[in-house]
């Protein structure tokens, strides 16, 4: 009987991918979660035990799931983050966890820029109003000369910085471990977090969630931003306090926001999604043909390498 590998990312359970054939060619049987749906803990408890490998998406993988996953040797995420995995339990149980750093960076960075321009010119608002038979116009801004603040300047942040500099923006970046060799322009500077928060016209998040479980962007943070700032989150939902952001949008402290990540996916009854000052997309940052191809190929490579040891 062949060993099994569980595949759970929604894009792969829906449409598959040619790279998965490499796992089958290596003698592994593929087990899929419910097509197109993020698996629940109950489904993981049902399908994961007995699998030696797990090609995982963004679903929560807690200690209970890992403890029940008898025989599991490696989790290979088709993304960069591990905040959805109980890493302490994985280490305790000897389960290797692999990621695909940089695989979807281009897709996420381009979406961040699409969000920036959509907010600057109120494109979704205008489109919705016109299609509804109205003729409502909301005055936009030109991004030339404006300051973009990046919180996180890794694979994605560096690409966003280059794009913004190409549009004649000034870029301030905060990173816990800044790369001093990254100096793309005299208009780019690494600065303390407080300077990014206080001096930026647009702030874009490109960092992991805080290990404390607390949001990075909360009421006090929002109050210290420039009035009329735009906020973009294509990183992690846990970074932003949604109630505080909703209040800041209502007061005008934040002029508009763009969101691609949610505490619950799909979100239900989310006030931010319903706001005409929020551009909301359904977690599509890395959902391009090119990003998916890179991530799946790397995730399969990681599985085959780990399982061969």
Which residues are designated catalytic? 236, 265, 283
Angle at 160 between CA 218 and CA 114, to 5 degrees: 80
In the numeric block, which tokens belong to residue 147? Answer: 């300051």
Name the 3-class secondary structure at 284.
coil
The four Cα atoms 30, 33, 36, 42 give a dihedral, to 10 degrees, of -170
Residue 304, token pair as written in the block: 């085959």
Q: Which of 275, 243, 270, 274 is nearest to 256 (CA)?
A: 275
119 Cβ neighbours under 8 A, 6+ residues apart:
202, 230, 232, 255, 256, 257, 258, 279
Token pair 């607390």: residue: 214
**Burial track 66-78 (b if 16+ CB lie within 10 A, e otherwise):** beebeebbbbbbb
């Amino acid at each position: 009987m062949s060993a099994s590998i569980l595949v759970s990312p929604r894009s792969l359970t829906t449409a598959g991918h040619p790279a998965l054939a490499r796992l089958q060619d290596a003698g592994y049987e593929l087990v899929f979660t419910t097509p197109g749906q993020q698996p629940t803990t109950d489904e993981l408890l049902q399908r994961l035990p007995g699998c030696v490998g797990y090609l995982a998406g963004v679903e929560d993988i807690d200690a209970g799931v890992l403890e029940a996953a008898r025989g599991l040797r490696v989790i290979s995420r088709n993304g960069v983050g591990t905040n959805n995995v109980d890493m302490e339990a994985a280490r305790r149980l000897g389960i290797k966890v692999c990621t695909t750093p940089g695989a979807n960076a281009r897709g996420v960075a381009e979406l961040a820029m699409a969000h920036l321009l959509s907010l600057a010119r109120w494109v979704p608002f205008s489109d919705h109003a016109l299609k509804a038979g109205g003729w409502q116009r909301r005055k936009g801004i030109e991004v030339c000369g404006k300051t973009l603040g990046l919180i996180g300047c890794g694979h994605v942040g560096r690409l966003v910085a280059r794009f913004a500099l190409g549009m004649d923006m000034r870029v301030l970046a905060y990173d816990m471990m800044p790369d001093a060799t990254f100096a793309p322009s005299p208009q780019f500077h690494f600065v303390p977090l407080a300077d990014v928060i206080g001096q930026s016209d647009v702030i874009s998040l490109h960092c992991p969630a805080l290990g404390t479980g607390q949001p990075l962007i909360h009421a006090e943070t929002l109050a210290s931003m420039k009035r009329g700032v735009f906020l973009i989150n294509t990183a992690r939902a846990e970074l932003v306090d949604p109630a505080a952001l909703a209040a800041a949008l209502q007061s005008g402290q934040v002029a508009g926001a763009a969101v691609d990540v949610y505490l619950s996916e799909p979100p239900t009854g989310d006030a931010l999604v319903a706001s005409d000052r929020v551009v909301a997309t359904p977690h599509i940052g890395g959902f391009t043909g090119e990003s998916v191809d890179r991530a799946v190929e790397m995730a399969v490579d990681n599985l085959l390498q780990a399982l061969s040891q």
